[in-house]
Structure 1
């Protein structure tokens, strides 16, 4: 009798998992929405649209991009977190949305660890401090001299308050004992527009979104955050070689889904990302923009997120950084 009950229980348990298995096997059966939590034109947009194009081909369904800018990326990240966990809404994860914003704002409407499920790191990206060509400094040494001689005179643009560019800018100020005023924007694209127009003299940015303007001579790069000199910018030093370890970490751009998205769907999306990065054209575009393809596992991206979140919480505490800055 007991054996019969056990067999019945196992049969019911197995049948209960069949819809999930069938869903994962047939997934996707309709378009997937990919939320980019920043305005068009920035690095997040470049990486997001590139991976969306490749994943559309691989998965056999359109991956439709939706830009949801504002709040340093928190509006878009909240939309990802609150979407149904069915694999049909995913989004770009960034250091800003997964670490900086939550560290700056404990009252944020989402928890990066509990409410979002990592899929993969798509690419690691170098960061850059660049200036409008009219800025009175031709290289990093002159730049520091000008800033130290004129504390508070110059300002820098970033993609938003408590975004990654803001934190890098503040970390730069602390490391170099200089003072420049932060001007936040709703994404790197609008920030770049004002720097290019000369309304703000300094840009703190991810390299891919600034690189076209650097190549065109419309921005002058002074220093990069990367583990070595950038191939296309051989004369531009890294923070590391200048003895500034703290600002030298790169940024990363990954994919996340709402928490409780089935693991089988997460793994299918991860496999699509890995395959997308094997496309030579896409990989070459990332390299040309200053990004290094990654394509790691969900567990590895989860570890990256947790590490960066803890680091940013410590930075916010030590430097007393406030969201209203």
Structure 2
């Protein structure tokens, strides 16, 4: 009997056992060190679906650095504005669902755009998933300083007495500042000309330049209210802002039920692993609890709003009902 086949089989078996032991040791070392493939293993990108200078951009940058510190990987902010947030939203919806691409958006992309656009390049209800709410963004009725109205009652009277002579800006059709102005027009039976922009930053600059008369500021222009370059008359929320406790809400001024608040936060492509979503949600909620971050969000007129992914999604569903009714009643169309 030829012993060589048996020797060869024994050698192959020994090699297989050695290789298996090497792999087992390597796996144990990887597991012990936290996992070579553990998320995140490379930079995480946050796409902001509005231009620089707006509320979404500010909030992304407020949480970007502390989130980077928490994750141990660079967090890169990239602005992709346009189409009411649809361009950036579509980019994230079509990105790999691996946790390395997130979206910072207003709730309007989910709760408003499906009512506004006959056809969207993606389905917000199916193609992205809520991850973490960051802030409830209030809107503030702000005018240029030389508008002849010292308070909200005088402003409404002046607006109604001058139909079509006043103009208001917004970050774009269907944005929360635009919808707030449409609520105002509907409840006062007044008419003003809408001037849509591609983001809150450009709109603010033109208001400062006197190119239109008023707008509902999502917080980006409050520094100019404090300096006297702009005039604050009211808050478009159901409760007063802690920043301006003496400024009434429009609800208090007689526009009952006036509420134009929206929630901004992070989303991910559908199919992103739940453990990644849970991790980001936990880190963001922890970040929002820190005094320094709360102070920065409050300074731009927002309110930190930690919540679970499911609660964040439910909030968007509630907003979709009320904003959808307004869009239909006012026959609002996209740009």
With the length of structure 1 as denominator, give the TM-score of the two structures. 0.89
Q: 2:326 aligns with which of 312, 315, 318?
A: 315
Name which of 204, 207, 221 aligns with 1:192: 204
* Match status 1:213 vs 2:213: no
2:84 to 72, 76, 79: 72
User: Which residue pairs with 2:169 in the alignment?
Assistant: 157
Distance in 2 separating the partners of 1:106 and 1:158: 21
CA separation of 1:23/1:294 partners in 2, compared to 1, >3 Å: closer, same or farther?
A: farther
> In structure 1, what is the Cα distance between the partners aligned to 2:291 and 2:243?
19
Task: Give the superposition deviation at 1:322.
Answer: 2.0
Give 1:247 shift: 3.0
1:77-116 maps to which residues of 2 (within 5 A)?
77-116=89-128
How far off its partner does 1:304 sit?
0.9
Q: Distance in 2 between matches of 1:245 and 1:121?
A: 27
Relative to structure 1, the CA distance from residue 86 to residue 177 in structure 2 (aligned partners, 3 Å threshold; closer, same or farther) is: same
1:241 alignment partner, SS class: coil
CA distance in structure 1 between the partners assigned to 2:310 and 2:115 by the alignment: 21
Q: 1:285 aligns with which of 283, 296, 317?
A: 296
Give, in whole Å, the separation in 1 of the partners of 2:333 and 2:257.
19
Q: 1:110 to 1:147 in 2, by over 3 A?
A: same
2:252 equivalent to 1:236: no
Partner SS, residue 112 of structure 2: helix
Partners of 1:49 and 1:40 in 2: how far apart? 10
Alignment of 1:232-271 (within 5 A): 232-271=243-282
Q: Aligned with 1:52: secondary structure?
A: helix
Contact 2:224 2:230 in 1 (8 A): yes
Structure showing greater Rg: 2
**What residue in structure 1 maps to residue 153 of structure 2?**
141
State the 1:25 CA deviation: 7.3
Distance 1:201 1:314 in 2: 27
CA contact (8 A) 2:180 2:260 kept: no
Deviations 1:221-279 (A, max 9, x none): 11112332223323321022123244324221111001111111110111110121122
- Tell me how far apart the structure 2 counterparts of residues 54 and 244 of structure 1 sit (CA, whole Å): 40
CA contact (8 A) 1:24 1:265 kept: no
Say what the alpha-carbon RMSD is for the aligned residues: 1.9
C-alpha separation in 1, matches of 2:86 and 2:333:
15
